[in-house]
Amino acid sequence: MVVALNDVWKTYSTGKVKFDALKGIDLQFKRGEFVAVAGPSGSGKTTIMNIIGLIDTPSRGAVLIDGRETASLNRDELTRMRQEVIGFVFQSFNLLPVLTVFENVELPLLLGRKGSRSAALDKARRKERVERLLEEVGLADKRFNRPAELSGGQQQRVAIARALVNEPAIVIADEPTANLDSENGTRVLDLMKKVNAEYGATFIFSTHDKTIWEMATRIIFLHDGKIERGAATA
């Protein structure tokens, strides 16, 4: 099991008001799965994606990545796991505007810590890997452009290349198509599916769009912080 959530709860506190955004989530993901987390706005999709992506921690319950209980990791180990095991694609692309497309994709390789896999890559190896990924997402000819010179769909394809550059075991995409029209949204999903098949990484993406969630091999339906159906692995 590449990811497991055991009785995960998330409680947000605003002043004296407490709100349970996740209420006892039990989930497992196998290597290479292409899973949609579906549900209406406010159902807890972003909360669950951030917890799986180690951006946020549960209030209760356990998150296991590659069989390791993440609560027992120290800060450095957690950062390292986030950088090396997980790739993240955001709803709003989150590319750095001052960097070129090439530099945006290369960035995670430069953030690798001393002794990490990516820190061992020299400039020529980094260039080779970034260019291969830009080929893969169909944007090799845009490598010297800035994000603002690209369409939304192209920016999201750059973000997918960036998420893959460290060869993560898991790619998390929180509503990756929410800011795209349906044609570009489908293209982005087609690309995610292609790289899922080629690299074998587990893809977990959230969406409230039916046409998108139907492209998944498994759909997990969230409602008010609980799983309605889809918890069992295929």
Ligand X SMILES: Nc1ncnc2c1ncn2[C@@H]1O[C@H](COP(=O)(O)OP(=O)(O)O)[C@@H](O)[C@H]1O
Cα–Cα distance for residue pair 222/106, rounded to 1 Å = 35
**Residue span binding ligand X (CB under 6 A) among the ranges 40-48, 91-99, 149-157, 182-190:** 40-48
As a 3-state breakdown, the chain gives helix, strand, coil percent values, each rounded to 5, of 40, 25, 35
**Closer CB to ligand X, 126 or 223, in the complex:** 223
Span between the terminal Cα atoms of the chain, in Å? 12
Scanning residues 7 to 66, which ones bind Mg ion (CB under 5 A)?
A: 45-46
Under DSSP, the state recorded for 119 is G
Q: Which of 27, 36, 38, 43 binds ligand X (CB under 6 A)?
A: 43
Our finding on whether 228 is near ligand X (CB under 6 A) is no
Report what 144 binds from Mg ion, ligand X, none; CB cut-off 5-8 Å by kind: none
Helices (H), 53-181: 75-85, 101-110, 123-136, 152-164
Give the x/- contact pattern for ligand X in 9-28, rule: CB under 6 A: ---x-x----x-x-------
**Closer CB to ligand X, 39 or 87, in the complex:** 39
**What amino acid is encoded at 155 in this protein?**
Q
The residue count for binding ligand X (CB under 6 A) is: 12
* Shortest distance in whole angstroms from residue 42 CB to ligand X: 4
Tokens at residue 54, please?
A: 């180690």
Among all chains, which residue has been given the structure tokens 């579906």? 38
Our finding on whether 39 is near ligand X (CB under 6 A) is yes
